[in-house]
Structure 1
Amino acid sequence: MWSATRSYLLPVVRLYLLGLKVLLVQLFSRAFRLPAMPRQDGKVAIVTGGGRGIGYEVVRHMASLGVHVIIGGRDEQEGLSSVRKICKEYREAKVEFAKLDLASSQSVRQFVKSFKERDLPLNILINNAGVMLVPEGRTEDGFERHFGVNYLGHFLLTWLLLDTLKDSGKRGHFSRVVNVSSSAHRVGEIRLNDLNSCQCYSAHAAYSHSKLAQLLFSSHLQHKMQRGGFPMSSCAVDPGMVDTALYSNLWTPLRLAQSPIARLLFKTPTEGAATVLYAALSPALEGEYGGGYWVNGRREMTSPLTFDPQLQLSLWETSVQLLGLL
């Protein structure tokens, strides 16, 4: 009994303590401001979860620079509304919405199939969508929801688009994959024999595990691209704690306090999007300078687990098997 309670409570305590630390750092640090970026005419980008929050601000800014942006999202009404708002603000913007449910491998495959039929290049893929602290549940394919949506859905999407990303990059103009992760990876762990968190479920642990998995994937993909000499880079970004709907499942007392706390301590969606945009667009991160883990406009070290090449490879191979990609 005590062992099960401890297994449940420990991830909760760790995640909230980490969150408190992040908030304090944000309070005493100046938020990164995106420098002026060059025009990006002719480039094509896909942004998952681009209908609101950080994703919306990323889409909005890229569209202002001439990028043809495709919002991949589950909520069609929200996505189309975002397209209309951006096109009203920037009359020459090339923005569109396409249905994409990361909790369904069939939906991911259909999204990619429809995209490839258009024979467009793909210069930027931003894996932004995610869920946090949602009640225990399974995706359409039977995976734990955090692991399935935050990690496996994006793994499958990136895998299916890899050839297009490679073909679209060239020396001096690498294609880029940007994975929106979280400091929560620092309290995560990967149990390859229990990736669906069946042994002792905790939404806090599951969320942290999914973010660690994202980083392992991002790093391994970068190494694969470098070894293969492909004109493509992969990096991860921690946008910080941002005032978005992602935090709607916080522990009840914290959720009640979220609004006043957010105004004081949380970043705005525009501030949260700044480092994501920097990783996706900055000429300073071209070629060999790409990759890594970015926080508030700076490259930072991740937790020691993310540097384990065997764990990276094992998770990659297990993911391939789980998704039937062999």
Structure 2
Amino acid sequence: MFLEQIVATSVCHSDLYHLFEYMHPEGFPTVLGHEAAGTVESVGPGVTEFQPGDKVIPIFLCQCRECRFCKSPKTNQCELAWTRVCQKIMASVESRFTCRGKRVLQFMGTSTFSEYTVVHQSAVAKIDPAAPLDKVCLLGCGICTGYGAAVNTAKVEPGSTCAVFGLGAVGLAAVMGCKDAGAERILAVDINSQKAEKAKAFGATDFVNPKDHNIPINQVLAEMTNGGVDYSLECVGKVEVMRTALESCMEAWGVSVIVGWTDMYDIAIRPSHLICGRTWKGSMFGGFKSKDGVAQMVKAYMDKKLMVDEFITHNMTLDQINNAIDLMKDCKCIRTVMSVSPQ
């Protein structure tokens, strides 16, 4: 464990999901926030990978590098993560936060809406000391999640056709991932037409608003692509959209990836949707081995091979957190970055 000073943090929809949608009664009180960057303030016994002054990004998904999952190329999961974070309440089993003598939960093992937080060394990535923390903080969740879902999980191929459902930060990152993977056509799908130009800036070739059509959107996409897309990515977190994304794929070989998080409802599909040849996948943190992947993505950004600044629509300070949450709740931002401490 070590103490980290948070320099910058942003609001992700997963914070709102916990606060306004899932609302598990055992998940409160909690300090939210999991998309951030900061510096190591001090280290505890047994910490050998970090030292005070290191620039780091905390990550909600561990990478201990020692368990059978970490050693396997088949997954980016880590057995240690399953023992440290209780998925039911989206909080650490242990917490070093207290308020007026009472325990406060640590959200996703990070809790970055705070000037300081205590994190496990398996859930932190050391990054380039020259990286601007008020920009690369976004790589702690949303951008890696969407981008990796396209390049790591879907494994989008050059010349292919893709559809991305939902154009928040995760969806826009998925669009960017499809473009970088060489997709020839990328259809961006959202019910907010104001996001069309933003999607095209990240690489979308077409924008489709389901509200503009009187037939199901999967039929619209099938007509636009001669039977369906090669790859679809659902970045909304709604089960009905997950099914639609699957149905939008080419029946014989389409690959659909569930990226948006929810644990509230079941999905119902017809077996023939898969039997004929479609593949349905899930993607956690874009399939990145967390510590390694974040460091790689920061390097790509520093090498000007990855768009990050373009996701930031608002800048605030931590005492404006309620305003930042309202912007996300009202779909009036892509990402709001809050300054917590000076770099």
Shorter-chain TM-score tier: 0.3 to 0.5
Q: Whose helix fraction is larger, Structure 1's or Structure 2's?
A: 1
**Higher Cα Rg: structure 1 or 2?**
2
Q: Whose strand fraction is larger, Structure 1's or Structure 2's?
A: 2
- Provide the TM-score with structure 1 as the length reference: 0.42
